[in-house]
């Protein structure tokens, strides 16, 4: 059986930089509050008419392809992680496939929020390990800024979420690569972090009541998310290490989902990891949900922080609740 290996990474973030000072002008907040609670200093918001989830995914993919030394036609299958697709349906995977000129190959959308990229990576890894495909594109991309409640009522979450895209090209290899992936969910907590509408179980998909009730906006129980996230992040990292016979000190780089700097710092402390072994960039990009891990990995790779032979650990927690990890020999 073959393994799968990441052979190219790329990311794209919208040009529009929104600083905490910009947010101070549109809602009752302060730079101090945002930095202290989340670590975020600035984030990117999309430009309507220019950026879409699928075209940002395409831009990230083109960079990843170039770095992998491949062309789009080398891709056999697409797994696209997003909870903010361009359309209600079809998924953004088919739009990305069309933009890449790959009509005919399969494209699958994954809706597992902040854990979406690791779920997508796991699926791509399984397809390669079973021999079904040789080269699989995995994308995480989101436009969160258009569904945030930017009034004072929604300020505790609207200062956190943002937009961007990242891509990884996986290819079959006889060497080590993705060592294992670990996927979990607990639907008991589905409503602790969610966007209710346009939900199909409602009498109608669009009503004035929904708009007035802001049920199209993201709703989050911040303290419940924090409490569960710190436990699940740690559990799923330990699970990955144990399965492969490693200890926390064997990790060369931990790339956590960029949920909130306080959550990343908490996890880092639990494993007594030095700063240089944990990659965080939430300060500049905010929380980009399924895009955060591939953006962080791509940026870490650009900065030379991921080297041949390194042991990389990815970990995520998000809406669902879902949580996941991946251990990778680079």
In the complex, minimum distance from the CB of residue 75 to ligand ACO, in angstroms, rounded to a whole number:
28
The answer to whether 11 is a known catalytic residue is no
What is the closest distance, in whole angstroms, from the C-beta atom of residue 249 to ligand ACO in the complex?
26
**In the bound complex, what is the minimum distance in angstroms from residue 330's beta carbon to ligand ACO?**
25
Comparing CB distances to ligand ACO, the nearer of 156 and 219 is 156
Q: Which of 257, 280, 281, 313 is catalytic?
A: 257
Helices 292-302 and 53-68: crossing angle, nearest 10°? 30
Write down the catalytic residue from 55, 112, 114, 217.
114
- Give 194 or 246: the residue with its C-beta nearer to ligand ACO: 194
The whole-angstrom separation of Cα 157 and Cα 73 is 40
Residues 315/267, Cβ–Cβ less than 8 Å: yes
Beta strands 135-142 and 164-173, pairing class:
antiparallel
**107 vs 291, which CB is nearer to ligand ACO?**
291
User: Cβ closer to ligand ACO: 103 or 223?
Assistant: 223
| Cβ partners under 8 Å of residue 44, min gap 6 | 13, 14, 15, 16, 17, 18, 162, 163, 164, 285, 286
Residue 81 beta carbon to ligand ACO: minimum distance, rounded to whole angstroms: 13
Alpha helices in 150-291, H assignment, sequence order = 155-158, 208-213, 222-244, 261-270, 282-285
Question: Is 313 an active-site residue?
Answer: no
Task: Take residue 165 and report the two structure tokens written for it.
Answer: 């895209």
Cβ atoms of 326 and 240 within 8 Å: the answer is yes
CB of 101 to ligand ACO, least distance (A): 34
Cβ–Cβ < 8 Å for 317, 35: no
**Residue 185 or 220 with smaller CB distance to ligand ACO:** 220
- Rounded-to-integer distance, Cα 172 and Cα 194, Å: 36
Q: Which residues bind ligand ACO (CB under 6 A)?
A: 29-30, 33, 37-38, 114, 155-156, 159-160, 193, 220, 222-223, 225-226, 229, 259-260, 262-263, 287, 317-318
Closer by beta carbon to ligand ACO, 30 or else 146: 30
Query: Cβ-closest residue to ligand ACO?
Result: 222
Contacts 24+ apart (CB under 8 A), 122-126: 122/181, 122/183, 122/324, 122/326, 123/79, 124/4, 124/77, 124/79, 124/170, 125/4, 125/170, 125/178, 125/181
Query: What's the maximum distance between 2 C-alpha atoms anywhere in the chain?
Result: 57
User: Does residue 280 carry a catalytic annotation?
Assistant: no
Tell the smallest beta-carbon distance from residue 177 to ligand ACO (Å): 27
Residues identified as active-site = 114, 257, 287
């Amino acid at each position: 059986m073959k393994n799968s290996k990441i052979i190219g990474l790329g990311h794209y973030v919208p040009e529009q930089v929104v600083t905490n000072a910009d947010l101070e002008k549109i809602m009752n907040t302060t730079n101090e509050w945002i930095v202290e609670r989340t670590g975020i200093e600035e984030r990117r918001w999309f430009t309507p008419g220019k950026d879409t989830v699928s075209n940002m995914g395409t831009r990230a993919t083109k960079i990843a392809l170039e770095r992998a030394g491949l062309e789009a036609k080398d891709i056999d299958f697409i797994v696209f992680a997003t909870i903010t697709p361009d359309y209600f349906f079809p998924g953004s995977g088919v739009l990305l496939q069309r933009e890449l000129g790959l009509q005919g190959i399969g494209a699958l959308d994954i809706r597992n929020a902040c854990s979406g990229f690791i779920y997508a990576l796991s699926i791509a890894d399984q397809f390669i390990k079973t021999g079904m495909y040789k080269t699989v594109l995995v994308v995480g991309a989101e436009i969160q800024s258009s569904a945030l409640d930017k009034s004072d009522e929604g300020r505790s979450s609207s200062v956190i979420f943002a937009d961007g895209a990242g891509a990884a090209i996986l290819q079959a290899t006889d060497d080590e690569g993705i060592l294992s992936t670990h996927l979990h969910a607990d639907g008991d907590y589905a409503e602790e972090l969610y966007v209710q509408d346009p939900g199909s179980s409602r009498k109608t998909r669009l009503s004035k009541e929904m708009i007035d009730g802001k049920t199209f906006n993201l709703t989050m129980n911040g303290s419940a998310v924090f409490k569960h996230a710190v436990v699940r992040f740690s559990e799923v990292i330990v699970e990955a290490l144990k399965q492969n016979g490693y200890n926390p000190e064997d990790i060369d780089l931990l790339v956590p989902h960029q949920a909130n700097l306080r959550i990343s710092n908490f996890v880092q402390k639990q494993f007594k990891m030095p700063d240089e072994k944990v990659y965080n960039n939430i300060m500049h990009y905010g929380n980009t949900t399924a895009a955060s891990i591939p953006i962080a990995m791509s940026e870490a790779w650009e900065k030379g922080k991921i080297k041949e032979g390194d042991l990389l650990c990815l970990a995520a927690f998000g809406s669902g609740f879902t949580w996941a990890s991946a251990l990778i020999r680079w």
